[in-house]
Amino acid sequence: MFKFGTDQKVFHIGDIRIGGHPGEYPTVMMGSIFFAGHKIVLDPLKGIFDRDKAQALLEQEAAVSEAYNVPYILDVIGETGEALINYIEFVTEQTSAPVLIDSPSQQARIEAVRHFDGSDVMPRLIYNSIAEDYNPEELACLKECGVNNAIVLAFSARAMRPNAKLKLLTDVLLPAAESAGVENLLIDVGVLDVPSISWACMAIREIKEKTGYPTGCAPANAIYTWEKMRAGDTKAFRSAASAVLTLLQSQGADFALYGSLQNAPWIYPGVATADALLAQAGRFTGVRPATSDHPLYKIFQ
């Protein structure tokens, strides 16, 4: 249990606050919907999907979030611009939660940004992400459309160690994001495989100490390719996955992408418990919960 030696940035996006010292604000969970292979998607190119099943997932997420005081951002993934726009329009009608503009296609993300430029939902959209492969068109679009929220992906095959991630971030990615006029930056340190999560923990702590930006990562893809654990029973896998998330929290992570929304019911209790314990330890580090909607008040009271 610790407190950072530098001031920590806290950003207000939609209805949530993200950032700060361990125990100050709850860890924000980011669950994914409409990802490649998601069974509720009927046409991934046009963005046609089973609306009833999608709505059920969103309602479940909201209910579990309320039960444990764990805030969330919805990771909306689309293969094409058309699909991504359709998905975001649906999700933003169903919930007031912030939403990631996410796609493996940079062009699809740009199309979505331009589509929602000037709309009422734009302030709660988060561009995912400004990465090593950014280009002038992408940055110009973000600046032109007034995008204020973005994830910065501090990940590169040439920057795997924590100190290398910090250098990539400070020398390349933060200047790029700042040139695009983006103010609310969330730093994703990147994960390659399950063992690399240990380095991600170290990078999270170092980057928050040096920059103060809200920082986290996306362990989901690595966890779900963890064949040894997935080959066992479901309880063992869920236990191991929960351990990964709480380890990240113990090192100061402000957010984590945990995988499909359907996993929220077994993900949130462990995350809430870790947050409550971190807040309880704040009695000795001089940090108090900065919100009345903290897991501390659900878990121990």
178-206 pLDDT per residue, tens: 999 999 999 999 999 999 999 999 999 99
Give the pair of three-digit tokens for residue 158: 């040439």
| 210 is a domain residue | yes
One-character DSSP codes across 34-88: S-TT-TTEEETTTTEE-HHHHHHHHHHHHHHHHHHT--EEEEEE-SSHHHHHHHH
Mean pLDDT of 78-101: 98
Split into its structural domains, the chain has a count of 1
Rounded Cα distance between 81 and 70, Å, is 30
Residue-number span of the structural domain to which 162 is assigned: 10-299
Residue 273 has pLDDT above 80, yes or no: yes
Kindly report the average pLDDT of the chain as a whole number: 96
For the chain, how long is the longest CA-to-CA vector?
53
- Cis omega (within 30 of 0) for bond into 129: yes
pLDDT of 48 reads: 98
Tell whether 268 is covered by a domain. Answer: yes
Output the six-digit token pair for 96: 């007031």
Both structure tokens of 200: 């991600």
Q: For residue 57, is it within any domain?
A: yes
* CATH classification at residue 51: 3.20.20.20
The answer to whether residue 4 is domain-embedded is no
* Backbone φ, ψ for residue 284 (5° rounding): -100, -20
The span from the CA of 113 to the CA of 132, in Å, is: 19
Q: What is the pLDDT of residue 233?
A: 80
Is it the case that residue 229 has pLDDT exceeding 80? no
Is the confidence at residue 145, as pLDDT, over 80? yes
Q: What does the pLDDT read at residue 65?
A: 98
What is the pLDDT, as a whole number, of residue 172? 98
What is the spatial distance between Cα 211 and Cα 18, in angstroms, rounded to a whole number?
15
How confident is residue 226, by pLDDT bands cut at 50, 70 and 90? confident
* Better pLDDT: 226 or 32: 32
In a domain, 2, yes or no: no
How many percent of the chain have pLDDT more than 90?
Answer: 92
Q: Given a cut of 80, is residue 1 above it in pLDDT?
A: no
Task: Give the pLDDT score at 228.
Answer: 77
Residue 84 lies in a domain: yes
pLDDT in tens, 203-213: 999 999 999 99
* pLDDT score, position 225: 84
Asked whether residue 3 is assigned to any structural domain, the reply reads no
Residue 97 resides in a domain: yes
Confidence of residue 230 (pLDDT cuts 50, 70, 90): confident
CB crowding 206-215: b at 16 or more within 10 Å, else e: bbbbebbbbb
